[in-house]
Amino acid sequence: MKIQRIETFTHSQAAIVKVTTDDGAEGIGQTSPFMAEITTVVLHRQVAPVYLGQNPLDVEGLVDRCRDRLHKFPGTYICRAMAGIDTALWDLRGKLEGKSVCELLGGKPRPFPVYGSSMRRDIQPEAEAERLVRLIDSHGYRAFKIRVGKVCGNDEDQWPGRTEALVPTVRKAIGDETVLLVDANSCYTPKRAIEVGRILEDNNVGHFEEPCPYWEIEWTAEVARTLSVPVAGGEQDCWLPTWRRILELRAVDIAQPDVCYLGGLTRTLRVAKMAREAGIPVVPHSSNRSMVTVFTLHMMGAIPNAGPHVEFSIEAPGWIDGLFAEPLEARDGKVQIPEGPGWGVTINPKWLEQTERKASEL
């Protein structure tokens, strides 16, 4: 069996990938979201030639082959493109064996707890609190994440005083029994991160995500050493040696690889193993309801150092609207790990009709 054809179907910020073998077996995956049209150019020009003609079941070997053949291009776009093919190969294997990816990894599909992830910084504290309370009532969420600071904000808040008002307002509204997490998206220097961290400690916050610019690993490590609230991070890091350094420095208490940013499930499992050996739980980044959330659910249902919940966006579908024939839904604070072979989801044919198709063939 050999990989015969690799196709991409691109629309807006998403690109679905289909891998077909010479005997007709198929698997579906997804590249990393955002700038998908650029990612597909990289996929067909640089990554697909490494995979075409190879054994589709040798996912470990193909990841290493890609690393070696593309050694001059170790950055994010290669990883974003690799993710599409790698995840399609896991789907293909699952379909061949009649098992879900979760089962291939030794887990069992089941409803998995999720935290409702807010993406908004343009919302007043009272309005944010009100909508989270509504989601507790309607979907049974038992955990939420909110946004503090400003993206790469150099210590600035989205507007003055927002963070100081937001955290206690939300905590009071959702009650002490609901887990509250915060994400700073690389906003702070260590000094300011620690000041904000004291507010989080006072409000029983479950984790403080990406408090400092993610590339300043020593800054994040300083914050993690100082605060009692667990520090989380790693979503942007796609270079495995950087992950080794993060874990060796104990820069984070919770590892947050992103399956699509990192280059696929195979490489993410390697990070999860490194984190397990370091005694660190994994709560991946999956901030939109594209296939990245599907990938994450399957992985979290199987790895031994899975954290308590999966990130699940509470925002309107937007650019992924209509992607799945049956959209993912939170019920009683959990989302079902899809049970069918492979990833267990079907891409909506109407969504595919809107896409730009490209193909690489042996």
Instruction: Supply the pLDDT for residue 122.
Output: 97
Q: Which residues of the chain does CATH 3.30.390.10 include?
A: 3-98+345-361
Ranges under pLDDT 50 in the chain = none
Reference 199, options 127, 246, 146; nearest CA is: 146
Q: How many CB atoms lie within 10 A of CB 2?
A: 13
* Cα dihedral 69, 10, 310, 284 in deg (nearest 10): 20
Cα–Cα distances in Å, from 104 out to 58, 94, 150, 184, 342?
14, 7, 40, 35, 9
Per-residue pLDDT of 99-132, as tens digits, reads: 999 999 999 999 999 999 999 999 999 999 999 9
Residues 231/253, Cβ–Cβ less than 8 Å: yes
Residues of the chain within CATH 3.20.20.120 domain(s) are 103-336
Residue from 168, 174, 171, 166 nearest 134 by CA: 174
According to the model, what pLDDT value does residue 190 have? 98
CB neighbours of residue 100 within 10 Å: 25
Distance CA 323, CA 326 (A): 9
Residue-level pLDDT at 47: 98
3-class SS of residue 188: coil
pLDDT of residue 88: 98
Planar angle of CA 239, 243, 249, nearest 5 degrees: 145
Distance of alpha carbon 59 from alpha carbon 85, whole angstroms: 10
Q: pLDDT, tens digit, for every residue of 279-318?
A: 999 999 999 999 999 999 999 999 999 999 999 999 999 9
Cα-based angle 308, 309, 312 (whole degrees, multiple of 5): 170
Which CATH number describes the domain made up of 103-336? 3.20.20.120
pTM of the model: 0.97
Q: Which helix (H) or strand (E) holds 17?
A: strand 14-21
Rounded to whole angstroms, the Cα distance separating 186 from 214 reads: 6
Cα–Cα dist 150/163, whole Å: 10
In this structure, what DSSP letter does residue 147 have?
Answer: E
Provide the pLDDT for residue 77: 97
Q: How many Cβ atoms are within 10 Å of 246's Cβ, its own excluded?
A: 24
Which pLDDT score, from 0 to 100, does residue 219 have?
Answer: 98
Amino acid at 182: V
Main-chain phi, psi angles of 113, to 5 degrees: -60, 140
Instruction: Say which CATH architecture domain 3-98+345-361 belongs to.
Output: 2-Layer Sandwich (3.30)
| 3 state DSSP class of 262 | helix
